């Protein structure tokens, strides 16, 4: 197959979006390239794994990452255009797609710029060097006399397109180490706030989301949900269903029940009908009558010392001032604006899936195991959906659509979750409990630090194991429920970034009652919220300014610069009655972006905390697109403030009860603070992941501001629980 | 029972043969191919599905299509003029880069168009108030308010 494909590309000289082996091809609005049968991606060490020269003069960039609203398409287009010295409109981007783009795992952990964009930068720089060398040999001119610009190469009176120069072939050579990176030396496009190309399409309603895909023969499906995570289907009277308008098929696989109809609203109505007819056996009860915070501490746990430096206990005992505090963060929801959606098509033993998953290859592998279909018979194409902020229902709905498509071959099956399915069945960000103790010296320095945190695992992404999919547990095939998940997510940012000689951090990992997976920043949200709240409490005990106190415990100049700037940006703020300002800082993962933040809050007459304004300073090393970085950071600040002030997943003994936007309220427009973000661009540094940097610090800054406004310390989130609004 | 229903959408008459109880949103998206309006909640809680009904912005996800037949409907696709020139609100969203995933954008643009129609010069507070029905999970609110403000002065 490999040889055929290579020959094919050599002959045709372009790559396609389509996958015509598998029947009808989705060309959609973005799929305007000619078809070719690409079954596996090129070797990622080769230039053509990342970049293809098209006949019409454009360059197609292949990224293994997904557009999640973070603007990865414009960022990778910028780095490529810079290296190829070309106009941006000549650069197109193909998002993650099995068999086409490199396998870059998941689009997660704020790593798309660090990994994918840098691979593309190197591939494009290497391509430029190869192209110049080829032209130099062809025309027998030194490459210093040649110019590569906008897809044309010229020298003296000679000029030709890249496509002509390559004679329709692609550049298969190794990327190696390019001699010059224009992104560092010239920087004409990189570092500029280049507008995104997808926004004009969005405002016209022309951007195609996975939810908008349409195929001529497409049918619609809905799932009938059980009462709880563990309840089983009792009875289901099927007779007469076939008389309902549009009915095509009822799919029953154990306790997994879905219905397929010609039209979408018919499928919805049928799902209501089937739900009315179904009886469900009660499953295990959820611990609804104990406060969750207390309940979590009663669970069996795996305890591990994560860091142990000096003798914290001794230092703490001797300290003249001692302080301790406990914090709590509830389950939080990704709560995507658009419910999860996928289209699946099964025919001739082959499966095609269109998905907004963050990882097309891991999804493919896990689908293969779930459905017992060989991986090379599955094609998974990433199509942007609603922003996800981590691992939400995207993979689950893809698995469900695939299960249904296999039962109903020959037509495209579209499945979109309803709002209550998204709210009630997605894997949440886990609840956590955090306890801190520290001693202060006479001079107000931290002398002993002890941090204990209780958390579930943080990620149950598809990893080849079918049980990571929501439907697997209802199939009655013995797949079981997901394993302990990614513990590293819980530990993230549990080590303070401050210089403390004697410290110990200990993780306590439990299996909590609700389904959970990776939510933006993972454990770093709760860890930073706790640590930065506690730093504020310690500063108060030490009688110091909270920003100065932090700076006194830092030896990283970049961190200190962020804090100095945030202080300076907020010196003019006038605080009114019942208003306060709070600060926080963290370096995401202790190795990615630096972020300092301030929040200005007030407490209204109903004792409800509102945020007036937030300021952020972010240092992500080399900035590819400063406006994109700002946008991500502003969004992170607003989202984290919403998490901290308003959000909490609630449940009764059967299941989660936060089923819609009334029962799981998030910030609406009147609650939105003004936001102001300053970007520190460090050209000489490597770019650092940024998309999750704002989460933890923003929550802490809000809570610290509440203290500054009222003298009261909020240690349990959310600050304004739903009940407050009902009083 | 399917019925023949005439809809007036973006200045054109459309005949559709659907169950008259079908919410307008599904008819716009699936029968007329107008996928600007999005399904967000189906509960009139998030604004993703908003369209203009006789110039007023309202959700389309619960409105039975037969009721909608009496009104002039404008969707996101119908805001630009015949030459494809964008409405000033659309342009302002681009200028301010007021989007991340953009799933909420349909509702935000539609609601803002209706607002400026009624109040050509709203304060920031009035903008925030009039967008209270719209959910944005990515947190582009501050940019949206800037965009609407900008559109109001152009
Ligand atoms: S989809 Fe209509 S308001 Fe949410
Ligand atoms: S931009 Fe994603 S929901 Fe608003």
Same domain for B99 and B50, yes or no, is no
Other CB atoms within a 10 A radius of the CB of residue B9 amount to 22
Class for the domain spanning A211-282+338-420: alpha beta
Contact assessment for residue A380 and residue A355, using Cβ atoms and an 8 Å cutoff? yes
Kindly list the distances between the CA atom of residue A574 and the CA atoms of A98, A571, A578, A597, A674, in Å, as whole numbers in the listed order. Answer: 55, 9, 12, 17, 15
Fold that domain A5-203 belongs to in CATH: Aldehyde Oxidoreductase; domain 4 (3.30.365)
Kindly list the distances between the CA atom of residue B38 and the CA atoms of A531, A579, A702, B48, B99, in Å, as whole numbers in the listed order. Answer: 40, 39, 33, 5, 15
Integer Cα distance of B33 and A184 in angstroms: 45
Contact assessment for residue A489 and residue A458, using Cβ atoms and an 8 Å cutoff? yes
Tell me: the pLDDT tens digits for A547-578? 999 999 999 999 999 999 999 999 999 999 99
The residue of chain B with its CA nearest to that of A205 is B36
Phi and psi, residue A187, nearest 5°: 55, 55
Contact A387 B142 (CB under 8 A): no
Other CB atoms within a 10 A radius of the CB of residue A561 amount to 16
Of B18, B49, B77, the position where a domain reaches its end is B77
Q: How confident is the model at residue A536 (pLDDT cuts 50, 70, 90)?
A: very high
Same domain for B59 and B122, yes or no, is no
Integer Cα distance of A122 and A675 in angstroms: 35
Q: Which pairing describes strands B72-74 and B3-9: parallel, antiparallel, or unpaired?
A: parallel
Supply B51's token pair: 């369209």
In-domain check, residue B82: no
Tell me: the pLDDT tens digits for A509-525? 999 999 999 999 999 99
Q: Within chain A, how many helices (H) and strands (E) appear?
A: 19, 24
* Res A183: pLDDT: 96
Q: Which residues of A touch B86 (CB under 8 A)?
A: 203-204
* Res A725: pLDDT: 72
Other CB atoms within a 10 A radius of the CB of residue A326 amount to 16
Tell me: the pLDDT tens digits for A628-668? 999 999 999 999 999 999 999 999 999 999 999 999 999 99
The pLDDT of residue A5 is above 80: no
3-state DSSP assignment of residue A302 = strand
Same domain for B96 and B42, yes or no, is no
Tell which one of B98, B111, B136, B144 to mutate to probe ligand 2, the residue whose CB is within 8 A of the most ligand atoms.
Answer: B136
Measured by CA distance, the residue closest to atom 4 of ligand 2 is B136
B41 lines ligand 1 (CB under 6 A): yes
For residue B60, how far is its CA from the centre of ligand 1 (angstroms)?
7
Tell which one of B28, B40, B64 to mutate to probe ligand 1, the residue whose CB is within 8 A of the most ligand atoms.
Answer: B40
Of the candidates A694, A700, A706, the one whose C-alpha atom is nearest the C-alpha of residue A604 is A706
* Res A110: pLDDT: 75
Q: Nearest ligand to the C-alpha of residue B50?
A: 1
In-domain check, residue B95: yes
Residues 6+ apart with CB under 8 A from A639: A389, A520, A667, A695, B137, B138, B139
B42 lines ligand 1 (CB under 6 A): yes
The residue of chain A with its CA nearest to that of B96 is A195
Q: Which pairing describes strands A219-224 and A413-416: parallel, antiparallel, or unpaired?
A: parallel
Of the candidates A382, A384, A393, the one whose C-alpha atom is nearest the C-alpha of residue A335 is A393
Tell me: the pLDDT tens digits for A181-223? 999 999 999 999 999 999 999 999 999 999 999 999 999 999 9
Residues 6+ apart with CB under 8 A from A194: A74, A78, A88, A625, A627
The pLDDT of residue A15 is above 80: no
* Res A25: pLDDT: 34
Q: What is the CA radius of gyration of chain B?
A: 15
Same domain for B68 and B95, yes or no, is no
Same domain for B28 and B67, yes or no, is yes
> Which candidate from B37, B98, B103 shows the least CB-CB separation from A337?
B103
Same domain for B42 and B97, yes or no, is no
Q: What is the DSSP string of A22-54?
A: GSS---TTT--SPP----SPPPTTBGGGTEEE-
Contact A203 B94 (CB under 8 A): yes
Measured by CA distance, the residue closest to atom 3 of ligand 1 is B44
B104 lines ligand 2 (CB under 6 A): yes
Q: Which pairing describes strands A341-347 and A413-416: parallel, antiparallel, or unpaired?
A: antiparallel
Q: How many CA atoms lie within 13 A of B47 on its CB side?
A: 22
How high is the mean pLDDT of chain A? 92
Contact B97 A196 (CB under 8 A): yes
Same domain for B95 and B60, yes or no, is no
Contact assessment for residue A99 and residue A139, using Cβ atoms and an 8 Å cutoff? no
Q: Which residues of A touch B145 (CB under 8 A)?
A: 669, 672
Q: Which residues of A touch B63 (CB under 8 A)?
A: none
Domain count, chain B: 2
> Which candidate from B18, B80, B137 shows the least CB-CB separation from A337?
B137
Fold that domain A292-332+428-725 belongs to in CATH: Aldehyde Oxidoreductase; domain 4 (3.30.365)
The residue of chain B with its CA nearest to that of A421 is B41
B27 DSSP assignment? I
Same domain for B11 and B62, yes or no, is yes
The residue extents of the domains of chain A are 5-203, 211-282+338-420, 292-332+428-725
Kindly list the distances between the CA atom of residue A533 and the CA atoms of A328, A483, A526, A615, A713, in Å, as whole numbers in the listed order. Answer: 12, 32, 10, 17, 9
Phi-psi region of A712 (alpha: psi -120 to 50; beta: other; left: phi over 0): beta
Tell me: the pLDDT tens digits for A436-480? 999 999 999 999 999 999 999 998 899 999 999 999 999 989 898
Contact assessment for residue B93 and residue B58, using Cβ atoms and an 8 Å cutoff? no
The pLDDT of residue A39 is above 70: no
Of B12, B42, B77, the position where a domain reaches its end is B77
Contact B40 A419 (CB under 8 A): yes
* Res A10: pLDDT: 32
- Comparing B133 with A6, the larger pLDDT belongs to B133
Tell me: the pLDDT tens digits for B12-45? 999 999 999 999 999 999 999 999 999 999 999 9
Same domain for B70 and B92, yes or no, is no
Residue A354 bridge partners (DSSP): A343, A381
Question: What is the 3 state secondary structure string of A639-700?
Answer: HHHHHHHHCCCCECCCCECCCCCCCCCCCCHHHCCEEEEEEECCCCCCCCCCCCCCHHHHHH
Phi and psi, residue A620, nearest 5°: -110, 30
Contact A337 B77 (CB under 8 A): no
For residue A462, how far is its CA from the centre of ligand 2 (angstroms)?
25
Q: Which residues of A touch B45 (CB under 8 A)?
A: 419, 660-662
Q: Which residues of A touch B22 (CB under 8 A)?
A: 263, 265
* Res A595: pLDDT: 98
Contact B26 A265 (CB under 8 A): yes
Residues 6+ apart with CB under 8 A from A510: A296, A299, A300, A301, A302, A454, A455, A456
Q: What is the CA radius of gyration of chain A?
A: 27
* Res A727: pLDDT: 53
B103 lines ligand 1 (CB under 6 A): no
Same domain for B22 and B73, yes or no, is yes
B23 lines ligand 1 (CB under 6 A): no
Measured by CA distance, the residue closest to atom 3 of ligand 2 is B136
Tell me: the pLDDT tens digits for A373-385? 999 999 999 999 9
* Res A726: pLDDT: 63
Q: How confident is the model at residue A357 (pLDDT cuts 50, 70, 90)?
A: very high
Tell which one of B35, B37, B45 to mutate to probe ligand 1, the residue whose CB is within 8 A of the most ligand atoms.
Answer: B45
Same domain for B69 and B48, yes or no, is yes
Contact B93 A672 (CB under 8 A): no
Residues 6+ apart with CB under 8 A from B12: none
The pLDDT of residue A26 is above 60: no
For residue A532, how far is its CA from the centre of ligand 2 (angstroms)?
28
Which atom, in ligand 1's list, is nearest to the CA of B50? Answer: 2
Same domain for B92 and B63, yes or no, is no
Tell me: the pLDDT tens digits for A300-356? 999 999 999 999 999 999 999 999 999 999 999 999 999 999 999 999 999 999 999
The whole-number average pLDDT for the span A15-35 is: 32
CA B35 to chain centre: 11
A vs B, Cβ pairs < 8 A, gives 179
Contact B100 A631 (CB under 8 A): yes
Tell me: the pLDDT tens digits for A663-703? 999 999 999 999 999 999 999 999 998 999 999 999 999 99
B78 DSSP assignment? G
Integer Cα distance of A468 and A133 in angstroms: 49
Integer Cα distance of B144 and B154 in angstroms: 15
CATH number of the domain at B131, please: 1.10.150.120
Integer Cα distance of B128 and B115 in angstroms: 11
B94 lines ligand 2 (CB under 6 A): no
Tell me: the pLDDT tens digits for A122-179? 999 999 999 999 999 999 999 999 999 999 999 989 999 999 999 989 999 999 999 9
The whole-number average pLDDT for the span A405-431 is: 98
In-domain check, residue B83: no
Phi and psi, residue A676, nearest 5°: -140, 120
Contact B136 A209 (CB under 8 A): no
Residue A347 bridge partners (DSSP): A350
Among A33-47, A269-283, A357-371, A379-393, which stretch is predicted with the lowest mean pLDDT?
A: A33-47
Q: With b meaning 16 or more CB within 10 Å and e meaning fewer, what string describes A605-634? A: eeebbbbbbbbbbbbbbbbbbbbbbbbbbb
Tell which one of A67, A68, A69, A336 to mutate to probe ligand 2, the residue whose CB is within 8 A of the most ligand atoms.
Answer: A69
pTM for the predicted model, two decimal places: 0.94
Integer Cα distance of A723 and A717 in angstroms: 13
Tell me: the pLDDT tens digits for A247-262? 999 999 999 999 999 9
CATH number of the domain at B31, please: 3.10.20.30
Integer Cα distance of A297 and A663 in angstroms: 26
The pLDDT of residue A14 is above 90: no
Tell me: the pLDDT tens digits for A574-622? 999 999 999 999 999 999 999 999 999 999 999 999 999 999 999 999 9
Cis previous bond, A718, omega within 30: yes
Q: Give how far B32 is from chain A: nearest CA, Å.
A: 12
For residue A60, how far is its CA from the centre of ligand 2 (angstroms)?
27
> Which candidate from A245, A335, A339 shows the least CB-CB separation from B19?
A245
Domain enclosing residue B111, as ranges = 88-152
Contact assessment for residue A120 and residue A92, using Cβ atoms and an 8 Å cutoff? no
Of B29, B55, B77, the position where a domain reaches its end is B77
Q: Which residues of A touch B102 (CB under 8 A)?
A: 69, 198-199, 202, 207
Q: Which pairing describes strands A350-355 and A432-440: parallel, antiparallel, or unpaired?
A: unpaired
The pLDDT of residue A37 is above 50: no
For residue B38, how far is its CA from the centre of ligand 1 (angstroms)?
8
Q: What is the DSSP string of A91-131?
A: EEEE--BTTTS-----S-TT-TIIIIIHHHHHHHHHHHHHH
Q: Which residues of A touch B35 (CB under 8 A)?
A: 205, 208-209, 211-212, 214
């Amino acid at each position: 197959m490999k040889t055929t494909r290579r020959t094919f590309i050599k002959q045709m000289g372009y790559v396609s979006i389509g996958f015509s082996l598998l029947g009808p091809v989705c060309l959609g609005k973005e799929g305007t390239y000619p078809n070719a049968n690409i079954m596996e991606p090129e070797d990622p060490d080769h230039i053509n794994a990342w970049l293809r020269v098209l006949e019409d003069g454009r360059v197609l960039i292949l990224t293994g990452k997904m557009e999640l609203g973070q603007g990865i398409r414009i960022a990778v287009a910028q780095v490529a255009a810079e290296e190829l010295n070309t106009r941006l409109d000549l650069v197109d981007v193909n998002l993650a797609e099995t068999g086409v783009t490199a396998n870059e795992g998941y689009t997660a952990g704020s790593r798309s710029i660090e990994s994918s964009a840098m691979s593309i930068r190197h591939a494009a720089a290497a391509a430029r060097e190869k192209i110049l060398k080829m032209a130099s040999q062809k025309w027998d001119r030194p490459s210093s006399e040649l110019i590569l610009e906008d897809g044309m190469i010229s020298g003296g009176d000679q000029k030709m397109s890249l496509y002509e120069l390559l004679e329709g072939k692609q550049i298969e050579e190794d990327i190696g180490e390019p001699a010059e990176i224009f992104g560092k030396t010239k920087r004409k496009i990189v570092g500029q706030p280049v507008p995104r190309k997808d926004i004009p399409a969005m405002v016209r309603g022309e951007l195609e989301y996975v939810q908008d895909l349409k195929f001529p023969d497409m049918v619609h499906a809905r799932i009938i949900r059980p009462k709880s995570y563990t309840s089983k289907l009792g009875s289901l009277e099927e007779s007469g269903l076939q008389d309902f308008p549009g009915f095509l098929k009822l799919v029953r696989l154990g306790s997994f029940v879905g219905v397929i109809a010609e039209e979408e609203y018919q499928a919805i109505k049928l799902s209501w009908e089937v739900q009315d007819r179904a009886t469900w056996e009660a499953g295990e009860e959820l611990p609804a009558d104990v406060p969750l915070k207390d309940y979590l501490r009663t669970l069996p746990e795996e305890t591990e010392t994560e860091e142990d430096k000096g003798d914290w206990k001794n230092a703490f005992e001797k300290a003249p001032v001692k302080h301790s505090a406990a914090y709590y963060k509830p389950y939080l929801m990704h709560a995507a604006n658009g419910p999860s959606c996928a289209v699946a098509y099964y025919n001739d033993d082959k499966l095609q899936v269109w998905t907004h998953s963050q990882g097309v290859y891991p999804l493919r592998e896990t689908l293969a195991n779930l459905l017992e279909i060989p991986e090379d018979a599955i094609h998974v194409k990433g199509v942007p959906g609603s922003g996800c902020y981590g691992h939400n229902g995207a993979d689950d709905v893809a698995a469900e659509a695939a299960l249904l498509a296999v039962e109903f071959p020959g037509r495209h099956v579209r499945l979109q979750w309803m709002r209550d399915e998204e709210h009630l069945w997605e894997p949440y960000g886990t609840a956590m409990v955090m306890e801190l103790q520290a001693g202060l010296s006479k001079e107000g320095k931290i002398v002993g630090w002890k941090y204990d945190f209780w958390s579930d695992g943080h990620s149950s992404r598809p990893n080849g194991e079918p049980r990571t999919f929501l439907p697997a547990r209802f199939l009655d095939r013995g797949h079981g429920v997901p394993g302990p998940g990614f513990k590293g997510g819980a530990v993230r940012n549990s080590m303070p970034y401050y210089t403390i000689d004697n410290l110990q951090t200990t993780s306590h990992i439990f299996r909590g009652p609700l389904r959970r997976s990776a939510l933006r920043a993972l454990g770093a949200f709760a860890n930073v919220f706790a640590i930065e709240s506690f730093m504020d409490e310690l500063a108060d005990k030490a009688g110091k300014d909270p920003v100065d106190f932090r700076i006194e415990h830092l030896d990283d100049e970049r961190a200190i610069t962020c804090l100095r700037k945030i202080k300076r940006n907020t010196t003019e703020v006038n605080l009114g009655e019942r208003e306060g300002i709070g600060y926080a800082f963290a370096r995401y993962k202790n190795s990615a972006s630096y972020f300092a933040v301030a929040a200005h809050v007030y407490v209204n007459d109903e004792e409800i905390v509102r945020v007036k304004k937030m300021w952020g300073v972010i240092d992500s090393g080399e900035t590819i697109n400063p406006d994109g970085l700002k946008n991500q950071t502003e969004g992170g600040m607003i989202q984290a403030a919403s998490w901290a002030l308003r959000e909490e997943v609630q449940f009764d003994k059967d299941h989660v009860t936060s089923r819609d936007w009334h029962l799981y309220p998030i910030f609406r427009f009147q609650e939105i603070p003004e936001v102001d973000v300053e970007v520190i661009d460090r050209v000489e540094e490597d770019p650092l992941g940024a998309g999750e940097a704002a989460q933890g610090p923003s929550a802490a800054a809000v809570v610290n501001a509440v203290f500054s406004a009222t003298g009261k310390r909020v240690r349990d989130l959310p600050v304004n629980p739903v009940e407050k609004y009902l009083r | 029972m399917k019925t023949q229903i005439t809809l007036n959408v973006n200045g054109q008459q459309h005949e559709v043969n659907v169950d008259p109880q079908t919410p307008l949103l599904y008819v716009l998206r699936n029968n007329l191919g107008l996928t600007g309006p999005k399904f967000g909640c189906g509960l009139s809680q998030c604004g993703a599905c908003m369209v203009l009904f006789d110039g007023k912005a309202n959700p389309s996800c619960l409105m039975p299509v037969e009721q909608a037949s009496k009104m002039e409907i404008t969707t996101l696709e119908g805001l630009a003029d015949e030459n494809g020139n964008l409405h000033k609100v659309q342009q302002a969203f681009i200028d301010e880069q007021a989007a991340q995933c953009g799933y909420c954008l349909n509702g935000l643009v539609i609601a803002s168009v209706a607002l400026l129609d009624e109040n050509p010069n709203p304060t920031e507070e009035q903008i925030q108030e009039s967008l209270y029905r719209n959910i944005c999970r990515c947190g582009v609110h501050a940019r949206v308010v800037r965009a609407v403000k900008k559109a109001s002065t152009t």
